[in-house]
Amino acid sequence: MILAKNSCVACEITMWSIRCTLALAALILMLSVANALFCAFAVDETDVRSSIAATEENIVVCYRAIADADEAGATTTALLAALNEAGELLSRADLAYKMGDFDSALDFANQSQERLNGFVAQAVVLRETAVQQRYWDFMVYVVGSIVGTVVVVVGGFAVWFFLKRRYEKAGRVV
């Protein structure tokens, strides 16, 4: 009787230890999954700071490119609008970073970078086009105009001397 009771207690203890082991294993598994998810989605403050700094540098590079294009006389309205958008997003990224919202900060910094894709290349094309345009403008309106004036003056004198000679030969105006 006592033996049967003892074996039943031993069986219960075994069952209880198995349940405990299973619960512990489940808990460890859940914690590992949670940790893995957290590691996968958590944003590191240093990464965000460096992302914002990279965006700031990129904006300065783009600004220098568009300033050169503007100086060459290019129409920069569309590119300036894109740069202003990128600047606004960078300001938002800075603000989110200061408020400790690193996810939003990174998102805004990335959006800002996206706006600047291919920006420098476009600015260089605009600048080169403007330089060529300015060259032709100068050739047509300044050089062409001065050459035209010289032609008019010299031609005028040539015609005058021609008519004068005929007048003197004929003794009257032709």
Residue numbers at the binding site for another protein (CB under 8 A): 59-60, 63-64, 66-67, 70-71, 76-77, 80, 83-84, 87-88, 90-92, 94-95, 99, 138, 140-142, 144-146, 148-149, 152-153, 156-157, 159-160, 163-164, 167, 173
Task: State how far the Cα of 3 lies from the Cα of 81, in Å rounded to an integer.
Answer: 89
**Beta carbon nearer to another protein, 13 or 153:** 153
Least Å from the CB of residue 54 to another protein: 15
Cβ atoms of residues 66 and 79 within 8 Å: yes
d(CA 80, CA 171): 71
The b-or-e profile of 34-70 (16+ CB within 10 A means b, else e) is eeeeeeeeeeeeeebeebbeebbebbeebbebbebbb
Measured from the CB of residue 62, what is the shortest distance to another protein in angstroms? 9
Residue 172 φ then ψ, to 5°: -155, 170
100: left (phi over 0), alpha (psi -120 to 50) or beta: left
Question: Which C-beta is closer to another protein: that of 7 or that of 149?
Answer: 149
Phi, psi values for residue 116, rounded to 5°: -100, 5
Give whichever of 48 and 90 is closer to another protein, judged by the CB atom.
Answer: 90
- Single out the residue of 69, 79, 91 nearest to residue 118, CA to CA: 79
Nearest residue (CB) to another protein, 40 versus 173: 173
Smaller CB distance to another protein: residue 34 or 140? 140
Q: How far is the CB of 47 from another protein (least distance, A)?
A: 22
What is the nearest approach in angstroms of another protein to the Cβ of residue 50?
18
Closest distance between another protein and the C-beta of residue 93, in Å? 11
